[in-house]
C-alpha cells in the first residue's frame, strides 16, 4: 500500500511540475466540484430549468454527502499533504510538491467527496440533458455530448484533487465509481409528494444515524479526531484550515437541507407557484436574486465557536431551499403579475 500511495505522490508531483501554468485552472475546477457549490449553484440552476431535476440534484447531494461522511469514518484514508510527512516513506518530504489554500481539509480522504458527491448530484442533470438532446437530434455523437461532458468534468475534478494534494488517485477513482453508482441508483427514486414529516424524519435520521455511528466507533476505541490533528499539524499555514471542512459541518448541512426542503415544498409560497411556468427572463431573475442572497449569507461569515457554527450552518441550509424553491419564485412571479398590463375587454 505504501508503494501505491508513493506512486500517487509521484503523479501529484508530475502534475505540479509539468503543468504549473494550469494551477489556476485546477483551483477553479476544484471549487466547481465542491459539494457546497452543488447546493449553492447547481441546485438553483437546475431547479429553475426543471423543478424535478433541481429537487433530484438537491436530494441526491444531501444523501450522498452523508454517505461519504460515513464511508470516510470507516475507511480511514490519509491525505497526501500530511502522508508525505507522517508515513516515513520518505527520508525527507518531496520538495517538488506543495500545498494550496484549499489543500488542508480536516476529514479522512477516502473516498473523494468532491468526486463522489458531485458525480452523484450531476447524474440527473446528465440524464435530463441526454433526454433533451435525443429529442432534438438523431446524431449518435450529439447524444453522447452530455455523458462526455459529465465524464470530462469529473475527470478534471479528480485531477484537481490530486494536484492540490487533497487526495490520492485511488481515492479519486473510488469516489468517481461510488458517485456514478449512487447517481444511477437514486435518480429514479427521488421522493415526490411526501408529507413534511417525511423530510423532518429524514433530517432526524441523518443526525441520529451519524451520531450513533460516531459514538459507537469512539466506544470501540477509535480516535475520530485523528485526521483533524494531522491536518492541523502538517498544514503549511493555520489560516488554510477551514471550519467548513470538519466532518460534522457536512452533517449539519445535510440535515438542515433535508428539513428545509420539506418546509419549502409545503409552504404557502410554494403552493402559489408550483404549477406556474416561469419564463426565461423570470428564471434568470430568480437565479440572480438567489445568488445575491447567497452573497449576503456569505458576507455574514461563520461564528468562530464550533457549536455555534454547526447551529448556524444548520439554519442556513434549512433556509436555502426555502429561498430557492418558494420565496424567490413567489416574489418574482408576484412582481411580474403586478407589472403585467391588464387584458383589454372586447
Report the catalytic residues. 114, 167
In Å, how far are 173, 202, 238 from 159, measured between CA atoms? 10, 34, 25
∠ at Cα 64 (205, 126), nearest 5°? 140
Q: Rounded to 5 degrees, what are φ and ψ at 236?
A: -65, -35
CA 230, CA 234: separation in Å to the nearest integer?
6
438553483: which residue's cell?
Answer: 44
- Tell whether the torsion through CA atoms of 164, 168, 127 and 271 is positive or negative: negative
CA 31, CA 28: separation in Å to the nearest integer?
5
- Tell whether the torsion through CA atoms of 81, 298, 294 and 199 is positive or negative: positive
CA 195, CA 236: separation in Å to the nearest integer?
48
Amino acid at each position: 500500500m505504501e508503494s501505491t500511495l508513493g506512486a500517487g505522490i509521484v503523479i501529484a508531483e508530475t502534475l505540479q511540475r509539468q503543468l504549473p501554468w494550469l494551477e489556476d485552472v485546477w483551483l477553479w475546477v476544484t471549487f466547481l466540484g465542491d459539494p457546497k457549490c452543488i447546493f449553492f449553484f447547481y441546485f438553483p440552476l437546475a431547479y429553475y430549468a426543471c423543478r424535478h431535476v433541481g429537487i433530484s440534484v438537491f436530494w441526491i447531494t444531501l444523501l450522498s454527502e452523508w454517505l461519504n461522511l460515513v464511508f470516510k469514518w470507516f475507511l480511514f484514508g490519509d491525505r497526501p499533504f500530511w502522508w508525505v510527512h507522517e508515513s516515513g516513506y520518505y527520508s525527507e518530504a518531496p520538495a517538488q510538491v506543495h500545498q494550496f489554500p484549499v489543500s488542508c481539509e480536516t476529514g479522512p480522504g477516502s473516498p473523494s467527496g468532491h468526486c463522489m458527491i458531485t458525480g452523484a448530484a450531476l447524474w440527473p442533470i446528465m440524464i435530463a440533458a441526454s433526454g433533451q438532446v435525443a429529442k432534438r437530434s438523431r446524431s449518435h455523437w450529439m447524444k453522447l455530448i452530455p455523458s462526455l461532458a459529465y465524464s470530462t468534468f469529473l475527470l478534471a475534478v479528480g485531477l484537481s484533487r490530486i494536484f492540490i494534494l487533497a487526495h490520492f488517485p485511488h481515492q479519486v477513482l473510488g469516489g468517481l465509481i461510488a458517485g456514478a453508482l449512487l447517481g444511477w441508483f437514486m435518480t429514479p427514486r427521488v421522493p415526490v409528494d411526501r408529507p413534511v414529516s417525511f423530510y423532518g424524519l429524514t433530517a432526524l435520521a441523518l443526525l441520529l444515524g451519524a451520531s450513533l455511528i460516531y459514538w459507537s466507533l469512539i466506544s470501540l476505541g477509535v480516535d475520530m479526531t485523528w485526521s483533524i490533528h494531522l491536518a492541523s499539524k502538517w498544514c503549511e499555514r493555520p489560516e488554510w484550515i477551514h471550519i467548513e471542512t470538519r466532518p460534522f459541518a457536512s452533517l449539519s448541512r445535510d440535515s438542515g437541507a433535508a428539513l428545509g426542503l420539506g418546509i419549502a415544498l409545503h409552504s404557502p409560497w410554494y403552493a402559489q407557484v408550483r404549477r406556474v411556468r416561469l419564463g426565461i427572463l423570470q428564471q434568470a431573475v430568480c437565479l440572480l436574486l438567489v445568488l445575491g442572497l447567497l452573497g449576503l449569507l456569505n458576507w455574514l461569515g461563520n461564528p468562530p465557536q464550533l457549536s455555534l457554527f454547526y447551529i448556524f450552518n444548520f439554519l442556513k441550509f434549512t433556509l436555502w431551499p426555502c429561498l430557492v424553491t418558494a420565496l424567490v419564485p413567489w416574489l418574482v412571479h408576484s412582481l411580474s403579475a403586478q407589472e403585467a398590463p391588464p387584458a383589454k375587454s372586447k
